[in-house]
Amino acid sequence: MADVSIDDIKRLRELTGVGITDAKQALVEADGDFDKALAAMRKKGLTKAEKRSEREARAGLIGSYVHDGRIGVLVEVNCETDFVAKTDEFKQLVNDICLHVAAAAPEYVSVDQVPEEERARAEAEFTEKTKSEGKPDNMIAQIVEGQLKKYFAEKALLEQSFVKNPDQTVGDYVKEHVAKLGENIVVRRFTRYVLGEIA
């Protein structure tokens, strides 16, 4: 049996939110390899953020932002309690998401919201284009899947690179706040208005 340090157990507990026994067990199973244990815990869906995502989020804020009198944004971001909704960190998160929506013009909150007919249309278009480029038949489905993923990631808010820090996605920025504030946080919906445009 591998030697498991108390520090590693504590660290694994902090990162995943599991009990001492589960943390120790994961480290023993990974022969004391911390990274391997952490990866195993994540696969089992035992991280804090993943556990919190199952909890109901009905409190929160509706944030707004108007840019130059020409672009207006409304965003609903939910958390679990009014207490967290009133914190400066949560208010800042909502404000940052409003700014991002104004700047990046996403069409959906997440890739899951893309309508089936929109996905089918894009798939047909990419398949046709890939075939016309003479790609091997056995590679077409894989190439098209990659193109679809990239195409819709650019249209989905949570998949977009965050305007204030392009090294992370908006989804990762939200997850940071889930860990920091200790509650499930959900970007529920948004509306973006552009002067002169008809929705």
Give the span between the Cα atoms of 182 and 30, in whole angstroms: 28
CA 75 to chain centre: 16
Q: Tell me which of 145 and 1 has the higher pLDDT.
A: 145
Q: Are 160 and 102 in the same domain?
A: yes
| 165 shares a domain with 96 | yes
Q: Are 20 and 79 members of one domain?
A: no
- CA angle centred on 97, ends 92 and 100, rounded to 5°: 125
pLDDT at 47: 53
- The pLDDT value given to residue 17: 63
Is residue 159 included in any domain, yes or no? yes
For the residues 93-122, what does the mean pLDDT come to?
93
| Angle, helices 20-29/6-16, rounded to nearest 10 degrees | 110
- pLDDT tens digits along 149-161: 888 889 999 999 9
Averaged pLDDT of the chain: 86
The percent of residues in the chain predicted with pLDDT above 90, rounded, is 42
Rounded Cα distance, 79 and 94, in Å: 11
Please check whether residue 31 lies inside any domain of the structure. yes
Instruction: Say which CATH number the domain at 10 has.
Output: 1.10.8.10
Q: 79 - beta bridge partners?
A: 59
Tell whether 106 and 65 lie within a shared domain: yes
Stated pTM of the model = 0.68
Indicate whether 1 belongs to any domain: no
Q: Count CB-CB contacts under 10 A for residue 3.
A: 9
Same structural domain, 68 and 146: no
How confident is the model over 180-192, as a mean pLDDT?
A: 91
- Top-confidence residue, 103 or 182: 103
Res 53 pLDDT > 80: no
Asked, for residue 53, whether it belongs to a domain, the answer is no
> 35: pLDDT confidence band, cut at 50, 70 and 90?
confident
Quickly state the pLDDT bin for 23 (edges 50, 70, 90).
confident
* Average pLDDT of the residues in 186-198: 92
State yes or no: pLDDT of 135 exceeds 60.
Answer: yes
Q: How many domains does the chain have?
A: 3
Task: Please tell me whether residues 100 and 160 are part of one structural domain.
Answer: yes
Per the domain annotation, does 82 fall within a domain?
yes
Average pLDDT (136-155) is 87
Which range of residues forms the domain containing residue 190?
A: 59-110+155-194
15 and 91 together in one domain: no
